[in-house]
C-alpha cells in the first residue's frame, strides 16, 4: 500500500473477516459500557469522554484519516444531516481517527467542521471497542508509527456511558443513516 492508496475491504470480505476471526463476538454492541479512553481533539488538546458524558450523550464516528475522501464526504454529510439534530439534544458529536492530531487537523480545518475531531493516536479506544484492523503501511499516512485503522463505525452512548447503538461497517462507502443515529438518543 502506498501513501496515497487506501486499503479497501468489500462487504463480502468484511463479512468473511468478521466470521473467520469471530470479530462480531468481540466488537462493541448495544448494552456495552463505553470505554473511557483519552483522546486528543485537534484544536483543544486532551478531551475526556467521561467529562463529555456529564453534559450529554456522545456520538462517536470512527474514520481512517484526513486523506480519505470517503471519510471526508461522510463527515461533510453528517455536518448538515446529523450535527444539528444532535445539538438540539445536547449530544456531542466526535469524529475519531488514529491519525496524529496535527495531520488530522487538516481535515477539520479544510471542511470547517464545528464538531469535535479527535485523535486516538495509540488506538486505545479503537482497541477497547474491537473495531480496528491491521493495515501495513498505514503508519506513513497516520504519522504515529502504528498500523491500525478503524472500520467505519458510529457509536452512541447515553449519559450513563452505556452504548445504545453501534454500527460497524467495512468503510464509509455506504454511510450510516443519520436518523438511525438520532433514534438511538431517544
The owner of cell 479506544 is 125
Within 10 A of 124 (CB to CB), how many other CB atoms are there? 14
Q: pLDDT tens for residues 22-73? A: 555 678 999 999 999 999 999 999 999 999 999 999 999 999 988 888 888 9
In a domain? residue 6? no
For the chain, what is the domain count? Answer: 1
In a domain? residue 5? no
Q: Look up the pTM and report it.
A: 0.86
Question: CATH no. for residue 108?
Answer: 3.40.30.10
At residue 2, the pLDDT reads 42
Query: Are the C-beta atoms of residues 9 and 144 closer than 8 Å to each other?
Result: no
Query: Are the C-beta atoms of residues 68 and 175 closer than 8 Å to each other?
Result: no
Structural domain range at position 61: 11-183
At residue 12, the pLDDT reads 66
In a domain? residue 4? no
Q: pLDDT tens for residues 125-142? A: 999 999 998 888 888 888
Amino acid at each position: 500500500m502506498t501513501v496515497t492508496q487506501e486499503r479497501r475491504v468489500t462487504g463480502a470480505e468484511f463479512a468473511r473477516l468478521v466470521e473467520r476471526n469471530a470479530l462480531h463476538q468481540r466488537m462493541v454492541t448495544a448494552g456495552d459500557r463505553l470505554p473511557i479512553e483519552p483522546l486528543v481533539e485537534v484544536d483543544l488538546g486532551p478531551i475526556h469522554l467521561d467529562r463529555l458524558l456529564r453534559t450529554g450523550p456522545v456520538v462517536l464516528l470512527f474514520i481512517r484519516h484526513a486523506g480519505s475522501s470517503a471519510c471526508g464526504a461522510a463527515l461533510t454529510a453528517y455536518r448538515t444531516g446529523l450535527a444539528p439534530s444532535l445539538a438540539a439534544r445536547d449530544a456531542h458529536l466526535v469524529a475519531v481517527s488514529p491519525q496524529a492530531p496535527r495531520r488530522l487537523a487538516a481535515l477539520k480545518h479544510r471542511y470547517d467542521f464545528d464538531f469535535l475531531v479527535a485523535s486516538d493516536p495509540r488506538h486505545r479506544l479503537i482497541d477497547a471497542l474491537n473495531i480496528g484492523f491491521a493495515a501495513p503501511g498505514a503508519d506513513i499516512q497516520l504519522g504515529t508509527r502504528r498500523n491500525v485503522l478503524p472500520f467505519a463505525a458510529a457509536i452512541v452512548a447515553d449519559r450513563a456511558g452505556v452504548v445504545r447503538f453501534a454500527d460497524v461497517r467495512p468503510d464509509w462507502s455506504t454511510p450510516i443513516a443519520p436518523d438511525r443515529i438520532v433514534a438511538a438518543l431517544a
